[in-house]
Amino acid sequence: MSLVIIGGGISGLSLAYFLLKQKPSLDIIIFESEKKAGGKIWTDKVDGFLCEGGVNGFLDNRPRTLELIGRLSIASLRSNDTARKRYIFSDSKLHLLPDSPVSFFSSNLLSFYGRLRILFEILVPKKEKNDETLADFARRRLGREAYEKLIDPMASGIYAGDPENMSLKSCFPRIYELENKYGSLIKALIKLQKDSKKSGRKVGPGPGGVLTSFYEGMEVIINALKNYMGSRLKTSSRVVSIDKKNEKYVIHLSDNSNVEAEAVVVATPVYATSEIVKDFDRNLSLILSEVFYPSISVVCFGYRKDRISQPLDGFGFLVPNREGRKILGTLWDSSVFPNRAPEGYVLLRSMIGGVRRSELAMQDEDRLLNTVMDELNDIMGIKAQPDFVRVYRHEKGIPQYSLGHERKLEAIDNIVNKIKGLYLIGNAYRGISVNDCIENSYKLAEKLSRRYNST
């Protein structure tokens, strides 16, 4: 079988890897429009600082990712123990996020009423509804204060999204399933803890796992996959369209060349996928174009340690929308992983933009830097100018799983499943994380191997 994969991000590269491991003789070409592969995974090492331009890690709780890392013979790196501490900036100060029932009830992050309201979650009836927004779910089950101070910043930290529009079922399927199964998150937690004691395995309502990366940054996994692909990977090769002729796909590139293949996997962001399939299937293109990507920028600042009075004893902080700040949060990267800053320095990594304030991410650089510096001054008391600066802009950042996302997927599947040899994959469909992308690539590799086993 001849196969073309369009898109050299983690989805496209891991798919090719899984397929070639099963059938090394497979005729695969990967086209990547950028000069370097990796998509939203790229790492810069400058002046002793190691900056992640996009993804900064993955949770070590998914077997396919760990299996892939093992097969590639690369060493993963778990985050420091201090990274278990996470902060919320609320009521103009940083609060340690409670990590146990005892610390939750002694914390002043929520008011006494806010904490009491969460206890009443066990009495809230299950809502017989196929889906709802994350905001509606959180207010209904946990109360307004818990939504505003806990759930809202979590959603902006993961998706750079607005919970008022985010689909609970698509964004947090585990939580959706627990309410459906147990009728209450507290009841679910009690049951899971009992199961944990019996099995000896830690289980809970959250995703679990420890944030993990590599000593030289996330691009390590991309470089390992690139090396494995060799000449099969074609960078600076932009696909503009596809069509079908005599049972074979014709892939047209921007340099006016074309390639034929028996099957095509489009592993690009959906706004690019929409353009690629526009002339091939107009209805599919229109549905894909509905997925929204807000702008987001990552701003990395390096400082001498003695210029920072705030103890950097944790992962960093997130900011609830109710605080009216201009950044989504800041990660204390040099406290999370080693090798992120030179001796005597620290590295801070702030996110700005997202669904609610997308325009802030695309300010001119001077204004963008001043905005972030002003925020860090107000929140962390940092008055010094940074010794090191790097800005990474994503005009189209993280795909949003808005209410109705599941119906959108069904419509896409109804079209694609009728087209022999065409497949779509990527983080805009069924999970945005690195783990999700690798898991979905593995599943597609299994499907393709079964389907084309005889060719």
Residue 27, strand partner residues: 2
* Residue-level pLDDT at 203: 55
What topology is assigned to 2-36+62-74+219-292+401-451 in CATH? Answer: FAD/NAD(P)-binding domain (3.50.50)
**Residues 284/415, Cβ–Cβ less than 8 Å:** yes
Residues whose CB falls within 8 Å of the CB of residue 420, separated by 6 or more in sequence, listed in order: none
Q: Of 24-28, 103-107, 232-236, which one has max mean pLDDT?
A: 232-236
* Residue-level pLDDT at 129: 75
Quick one: which of 394, 312, 307, 310 has its CA closest to 54? 394
User: Is pLDDT above 60 for 355?
Assistant: yes
* The token pair that represents 421 in the structure block: 């040899």
Going from the C-alpha of 427 to that of each of 25, 170, 404, 455, the distances in angstroms are 28, 12, 17, 29
Q: What is the pLDDT of residues 37-78, one digit of tens each?
A: 999 999 999 999 999 999 999 999 999 999 999 999 999 999
Q: How confident is the model at residue 95 (pLDDT cuts 50, 70, 90)?
A: very high
User: Is pLDDT above 70 for 199?
Assistant: no
Domain ranges of the chain: 2-36+62-74+219-292+401-451, 110-199, 294-394
- Looking at the chain, the whole-number percentage of residues with pLDDT higher than 70 is 97
* Residue-level pLDDT at 204: 53
> Taking residues 381-407, what's their average pLDDT?
96
**Residues 163/147, Cβ–Cβ less than 8 Å:** yes
Chain-wide mean pLDDT for the chain? 94
Q: What is the pLDDT of residues 217-266, one digit of tens each?
A: 999 999 999 999 999 999 999 999 999 998 899 999 999 999 999 999 99
> Taking residues 95-121, what's their average pLDDT?
89
C-alpha to C-alpha distance for 22 and 15, rounded to whole angstroms: 11
* Homologous superfamily of domain range 294-394: Protoporphyrinogen oxidase, mitochondrial; domain 2 (3.90.660.20)
> Taking residues 290-303, what's their average pLDDT?
97
Q: What is the pLDDT of residues 410-450, one digit of tens each?
A: 999 999 999 999 999 999 999 999 999 999 999 999 999 88
* The token pair that represents 350 in the structure block: 């702030």
Lowest mean pLDDT among 124-138, 259-273, 279-293: 124-138
* Residue-level pLDDT at 350: 98
> Taking residues 389-406, what's their average pLDDT?
96
C-alpha to C-alpha distance for 221 and 110, rounded to whole angstroms: 40
Higher pLDDT, 202 or 413: 413
Tell me if domain 2-36+62-74+219-292+401-451 and domain 294-394 are identical in fold: no
DSSP 161: -
> Taking residues 447-454, what's their average pLDDT?
81
pTM for the model: 0.94
Residues whose CB falls within 8 Å of the CB of residue 225, separated by 6 or more in sequence, listed in order: 10, 13, 14, 16, 17, 37, 72
Architecture of domain 110-199: Orthogonal Bundle (1.10)
At residue 72, φ and ψ (nearest 5 deg) are -80, -5
* Residue-level pLDDT at 258: 96
> Taking residues 272-297, what's their average pLDDT?
97
* The token pair that represents 445 in the structure block: 């590799």
At residue 443, φ and ψ (nearest 5 deg) are -60, -40
**The residue type at 41:** I
Report which secondary-structure segment, H or E, holds 224: helix 219-229
